[in-house]
Amino acid sequence: MYAALWRVLPGPWWVRVLILLVLAAAVLYGLIFYVFPWASEIINPLDGTVE
């Protein structure tokens, strides 16, 4: 999968690395600011059932 992604990206290796870093940062941004807050409303880890 990673080899296929590497072959699809345009440019020399340093441009590919830069594109991958930007993509990774965008994914992390989306997870931290959109997915995790949404999931925390659904999954509440503080609701324990152990007595």
pLDDT (tens digit per residue) in 8-28: 999 999 999 999 999 999 999
Provide the mean pLDDT of the chain: 87
Domain boundaries, the chain: 2-42
Q: Is 11 left (phi over 0), alpha (psi -120 to 50) or beta?
A: left
pLDDT (tens digit per residue) in 29-51: 999 999 998 888 888 767 666 66
Distance CA 21, CA 47 (A): 37
